[in-house]
A and B are shown apart, each in its own frame.
Chain A
Amino acid sequence: MTSTSVASRARTNLPQDVALVDLLDRLLGTGVVLAGDVVVSLAGVDLVRIRLQALLMTVRGSEEEL
Chain B
Amino acid sequence: MADRTGRYLYAIGRGIDEEEIAGTPGLRAAPLRVVEHRGLAAVVSDVDLDEFGEGGLRRNLEDLQWLEDVARTHDAVVRAATAFGPTAPLRLATVCFDDDQVRSRMDQWHAPLVRALDRVDGRVEFSVKAYAAQPEPAGQAAPAATGPGAGAAYLQRRKEETLRREMAGQDAARDAEELYTVLAEHAVAGRRLQPQDPRLTRHEGTMVLNAAYLVDADEPFADTVDGAVDRWPGLQVEVNGPWPPYSFATLEEQ
Chain A residues in the interface with B (C-beta under 8 A)? 1, 3-4, 6-8, 10-13, 15-16, 18-34, 36-42, 45, 48, 51-53, 55-57, 59-61
Contact = CB atoms under 8 A, between A and B. Distances in A.
Given A36-B9, A38-B52, A24 B72 contact: no
Contacts of A1: 236
Contacts, number: 168
A3 B237 contact: yes
Interface of B: 6, 9, 12, 49, 52-54, 57-58, 61-62, 64, 67-68, 71-72, 74-76, 79, 88-97, 101, 105, 108-109, 113, 116, 127, 133, 191, 193-194, 196-197, 199-202, 210, 212, 222, 225-226, 229-230, 232-233, 235-243, 246-251
Interface residue SS majority, chain B:
mixed
A16 B76 CA distance: 9
B13 to A, nearest CB: 11
A3 to B, nearest CB: 4
A3 B89 contact: no
Contacts of B93: 36, 38, 40
The A interface is mostly helix, strand or loop, or mixed, namely helix
A4 B250 contact: no
A3 B210 contact: no
Contacts of B96: 36-38
Contacts of A45: 91
8 contacts: A13-B241, A16-B72, A18-B240, A31-B247, A33-B90, A38-B49, A40-B61, A57-B199
Given A31-B91, A38-B49, A18 B75 contact: yes
A52 B67 contact: yes
B71 A20 contact: yes
Contacts of A16: 72
Given A3-B233, A51-B62, A32 B91 contact: yes
Most buried by A among B49, B95, B133, B236: B236
A29 B212 CA distance: 12
B6 A60 contact: no
